[in-house]
Amino acid sequence: MDDIVYALYTETALEEETRLLAARNTGLYRSTDGGKSWQNLFDSMKLDAPLPALAIALNPELNRGHEIYVGVPGGIAISENGGENWKLHVFRSPQPIVSAIAVSPALSSDGILLVATVEDGVFRSADKGYSWSIWNFGLTDLRVYCMALSPDFVEDEILFVGTESGIFRSTNGGRAWREIPFPMESAPVNCIALPSDFADSGTLFAGTEANGLFISDNAGNSWNSVNIGPTKGAVNQIIIPDDYSQRGEILCVFDHGLFQSLDFGETWHPRQGHEEIPVGITCATAPTGLGPDSNIILGLQDGNIISV
């Protein structure tokens, strides 16, 4: 079986060096040399069989690799010391398939973690992962594939999930949900991304399994399909830099290539110089941004991790 790469994450270490995390079928890996070599952080658990890592999130308050949250089959693995030691929390049976993790920007004070699952909806913790509850009130589609928090989550408590049938929004921190009018014929929704100016602009991007990219300029109340030339197919990730409101850069990660916009999504082109990217892209991270000279790290279906 290929060691599929489910997620990539750029991590800033205490020494200010850039490190990479990769969630793979055989565990959670870290690279300190730009992806040339990798160490399986789950080895410290001394398990009898490999434990797949399905999703990654870090404490955004630290962003230095101290507190790592990893979705695993049936639950979540938590490390409070940069991956040296782990605690496993397994959700009640039948154990769900974790698809995404979201961490409150004020985790140290509010303790809020959310986990999306493929068949059981959303799990929520208010004590940094020590206890969990299912919060599916109003979430009529429990097949959740992605999750995204508002950049101003601490104030507005807004988050979105993408499901098999569309998109749901919560305005109270994930305790209740309401479906928003995403075109059902274009679902499932693979990924959702909110720029840093979401509170002011209401801009929201959604990538679908077979119908390309959609954009909303009113917090999800209406949607428009984005014309990326002849490109349709699976959008597996949307990368929006922190300076989006000034530069308008967006990277759309299709399973067969990378497409970039430099004008807030108005026009798109294959990422410059990267036309020969292999197919089977599952995820990406941009350690140094989306500039023309920056490298994008890609995870592939066949288990390879490459820099382009």
Q: How many degrees, rounded to 5, is the angle at CA 301 between CA 299 and CA 304?
A: 50
The label of the residue with tokens 């499901």 reads: 163
**pLDDT band at 274; cut points 50, 70, 90:** low
**pLDDT tens digits, one per residue of 94-137:** 889 999 999 999 998 999 999 999 999 999 999 999 999 999 99
* Closest residue by Cα to residue 249 from 228, 224, 266: 266
Residue 202 near residue 177, CB atoms below 8 Å: no
Q: What count of Cα atoms within 13 Å lies in the side-chain half-sphere of residue 283?
A: 23
Report which of 301, 296, 295, 297 is spatially closest to residue 281, judged by C-alpha positions: 301
Evaluate if residue 275 carries a pLDDT over 60: no
Whether 200 shows a pLDDT value over 60: the answer reads: yes
Residue ranges of the chain that CATH labels 2.130.10.10: 1-134, 141-308
Report pLDDT for 2.
77
Q: Are 140 and 121 in contact (CB under 8 A)?
A: no
Neighbours of 165 (CB within 10 A): 15
CATH code of the domain made up of 141-308? 2.130.10.10
Per-residue pLDDT, 272: 66
Q: Residue range 214-234: average pLDDT?
A: 88
| 8 A C-beta contact, residue 287 and residue 20 | yes
Instruction: Categorize the per-residue pLDDT at 294 as very low, low, confident or very high, splitting at 50, 70 and 90.
Output: confident
- CATH superfamily for domain 1-134: YVTN repeat-like/Quinoprotein amine dehydrogenase (2.130.10.10)
Task: For tokens 């830099």, name the residue.
Answer: 241
User: pLDDT for 58-94, tens place per residue?
Assistant: 998 865 558 999 999 999 999 999 899 999 999 987 8
Shortest CA distance to 166 belongs to which of 193, 149, 145, 148?
145
Which residues are CB-neighbours of 57 under 8 A, at least 6 positions away?
9, 68, 69, 70, 101, 102, 103, 113
pTM tops 0.75: yes
First CA to last CA distance, the chain: 25
pLDDT at 231: 67
CA dist., res. 102 & res. 62, Å (int): 15
Supply the pLDDT for residue 233.
79
